[in-house]
Amino acid sequence: MKTGARNSISGKVKSVKEGDIMSLVKFEVTTPHEMASVLTTESVKDMGLKVGDQVTLVVKAIHVLPIKE
């Protein structure tokens, strides 16, 4: 299945908690992938980011969409 999403992480379903209207599905991530972020140049300079720096990536997203193939 092709998708427009550029960043994806492989994983497997770890648990399913079903509710009346919504369900919570937890995934165990099994394969690390490269991720990218778009920052203002001012932010990059303010943080002093350079190749090789160790950072923590915080992902802010509205949806996490599982795709079962």
Spatial contact of 69 and 1, defined as CB atoms under 8 Å apart: yes
> Which residue type, as a one-letter code, is found at position 43?
S
Total domains, the chain:
1
**Residue ranges making up the domain that contains 41:** 7-69
Spatial contact of 27 and 15, defined as CB atoms under 8 Å apart: no
Single pTM value for the model: 0.50
- Is residue 2 a part of any domain in this protein? no
- Is residue 1 a part of any domain in this protein? no
- Is residue 67 a part of any domain in this protein? yes
- Is residue 48 a part of any domain in this protein? yes
In the predicted model, what is the mean pLDDT of residues 9-22?
82
Check whether 41 has a pLDDT greater than 80.
Answer: yes
- Is residue 41 a part of any domain in this protein? yes
- Mean pLDDT score of the chain: 75
